[in-house]
Structure 1
Amino acid sequence: MNAFTRRTARGLATGLGALALVAGASACGGLDGLTGGGDEPTAVEESADATDESTAESTDDAGTEDAGTEDGATDDATDEATDDATDEATDDATDEATDDTAAGEPLSEEDLTLAGDRFYVFLEGIAQVDPEKACSVVLDYETGEPATGDGLQACIDSFGEVEDEIDPETAALLDRSMIDTVDNGDGRAEVTFMGESGDMYMVKASDGQWYIQADSSF
Structure 2
Amino acid sequence: MNSIVRRAGRGSTLLVGSVALAFSLAACGGGSEDPAEPTAEETAAEETTEDTAAEETTEEAAEEATEETTEEGAEDPAAGGEVTDEDLTAAKEQFVAFVGALGEQDAAKACGFMLDPSTGEPVSDANLETCTSQLESTGMMDTFTPEVASMITTDMINATGNPDGTITLDMSGSKVNMAKASDGKWYFTV
Q: Which residue of 1 aligns with 2:112?
A: 136
Query: 2: CA distance between counterparts of 1:155 and 1:174?
Result: 23
> What is the alpha-carbon root mean square deviation over aligned residues?
2.7
Matches within 5 A, 1:1-218: 16=8, 18=10, 104-160=80-136, 161-166=139-144, 169-193=147-171, 196-213=172-189, 215=190
CA 1:127/1:15 → structure 2, altered by over 3 Å: closer, same or farther?
farther
Counterpart residue identity of residue 190, structure 1? T
Q: Which residue of 2 aligns with 1:68?
A: none
Give 3-state SS (helix, strand or coil) of 1:106's partner. Answer: coil
Q: TM-score, normalised by structure 1?
A: 0.46
Counterpart residue identity of residue 188, structure 1? T
Unpaired runs of 5+ residues, structure 1, are: 1-13, 21-102
**Per-residue CA shift, 1:62-103, capped at 9, x if unaligned?**
xxxxxxxxxxxxxxxxxxxxxxxxxxxxxxxxxxxxxxxxx9
Query: 2: CA distance between counterparts of 1:192 and 1:118?
Result: 14
Query: 1: CA distance between counterparts of 2:102 and 2:145?
Result: 11
Greater CA deviation, 135-144 or 182-191? 135-144
Query: 2: CA distance between counterparts of 1:198 and 1:121?
Result: 18
Unpaired runs of 5+ residues, structure 2, are: 1-5, 13-78
Give 1:169 shift. 4.5
**Per-residue CA shift, 1:28-73, capped at 9, x if unaligned?**
xxxxxxxxxxxxxxxxxxxxxxxxxxxxxxxxxxxxxxxxxxxxxx
Give 3-state SS (helix, strand or coil) of 1:159's partner. Answer: helix
Counterpart residue identity of residue 122, structure 1? F
Give 1:210 shift. 1.3
Counterpart residue identity of residue 181, structure 2? A
Give 1:198 shift. 2.6
Q: Which residue of 1 aligns with 2:29?
A: none
Give 3-state SS (helix, strand or coil) of 2:187's partner. Answer: strand
Q: Which runs of 4+ in 1 moved over 4 A?
A: none
Query: 1: CA distance between counterparts of 2:9 and 2:160?
Result: 25
Larger radius of gyration: 1
Query: 2: CA distance between counterparts of 1:164 and 1:171?
Result: 11
Give 3-state SS (helix, strand or coil) of 1:123's partner. Answer: helix
